Amino acid sequence: MTQSAEPMPQSNGANSIFAAIGGNQVLLGALSIAVFIGVWQVVSMNVPPIILPSPANVFAAFAELTASGELIRATGQTIWPFAVGLVFAFIIGTTLGLLLGIFRPAARLLDPYIFVFWSIPNIAWLPLFIAWFGVGQLTLIVFVFVSAVFPQLLTVEAGAKEADSFLVEVARSLGGTKREILHIVVLPSALPYIFAGLRIAVGRALVGIIVGQLLIVATGIGYMFQFYGETLSLAKYFAPLIVIAALAVLLNRAVNWAEHVFIPWKPRAFI
């Protein structure tokens, strides 16, 4: 009596390839870029260059603007006021957020004003900033600061409020001062929120510096957007866009790295 042999399970080659690609972040990133450029090339071949230039034309314009020094100068003129405004926003927003999370009477007093200022569109502040600080780099820095400080402050304040009340009471019963409670209990609890707020603040600061250079000081990458957009030089218009996209990716990766370094205990369901 013959028995029907059950087919032996065979490894699926396609699944193995996909698993290998998904586990390699560098390979996955390179593949996504290649797919994006391929789709871009196909679309650009079917529309006029005035609507979408081809990747080759954009990269040629990028190389030309880099070789001439224009793109490098514009990047430098953009990065330093962006960095100064973001650093001040991070320091002040984090400090105030922690303090308001601990001192509830101060939070009840200041939270309505913070939400009012946060709700006002940043661009509505421009006439006031120009009147107060003039037309110059200081106004750019202030505009970037205002763009980034409120998401940092509100996110950190929410994190400080999430501190374990049991641990706070234990620290108080052991004679811990407000400063010790902040350092030992509240700050570790708020660290994930600090980095979450920083991610939002980085995006807001990037928008702020470009808007500021468009409307306050005609300089840097914002001016390149304006000039090449108005002259319909779209291949050159994409060059500063690539710089901003690369800067956003690098900053996001830097925040992720810092989060892994400073919060090694944070549980991560998806890696």
Per-residue pLDDT tens digits for 33-86: 888 888 988 888 888 888 888 889 999 999 999 999 999 999 999 999 999 999
**Is the pLDDT confidence value at 8 over 90?**
no
**Is the pLDDT confidence value at 265 over 80?**
no
CA distance 16 to 195: 35
Q: Which tens digits make up the pLDDT trace of 111-145?
A: 888 888 888 888 888 888 888 988 888 999 999 99
> Taking the model in full, what pTM does it have?
0.81
**Is the pLDDT confidence value at 192 over 80?**
yes
Cβ–Cβ < 8 Å for 224, 239: yes
Residue 36 lies in a domain: no
The pLDDT assigned to 1 comes to 47
CA-closest candidate to residue 78, choices 173, 167, 205, 168: 205
Question: How many domains does the structure of the chain reveal?
Answer: 1
Residue 216 lies in a domain: yes
Q: Which tens digits make up the pLDDT trace of 106-116?
A: 888 888 888 88
CA distance 198 to 93: 10
Residue 3 lies in a domain: no
| Domain coverage including residue 115 | 55-262
The pLDDT assigned to 149 comes to 94
Q: Is residue 19 within a helix (H) or strand (E), and if so which, with residue range?
A: helix 13-23
Rounded to a whole number of angstroms, the CA Rg of the chain reads 25
Diameter of the chain measured on Cα atoms:
98
Residue 240 lies in a domain: yes
Residue 130 lies in a domain: yes
Task: List the CATH number of the domain containing 129.
Answer: 1.10.3720.10
The pLDDT assigned to 19 comes to 56
Percent of the chain with pLDDT over 70: 81
Average pLDDT across the chain, whole number: 83
Residue 15 lies in a domain: no
Residue 32 lies in a domain: no
Q: Is residue 106 within a helix (H) or strand (E), and if so which, with residue range?
A: helix 104-119
Q: What is the mean pLDDT of residues 148-164?
A: 86
Residue 13 lies in a domain: no
Q: Name the residue type at position 186.
A: V
The pLDDT assigned to 159 comes to 84
**Is the pLDDT confidence value at 169 over 90?**
no
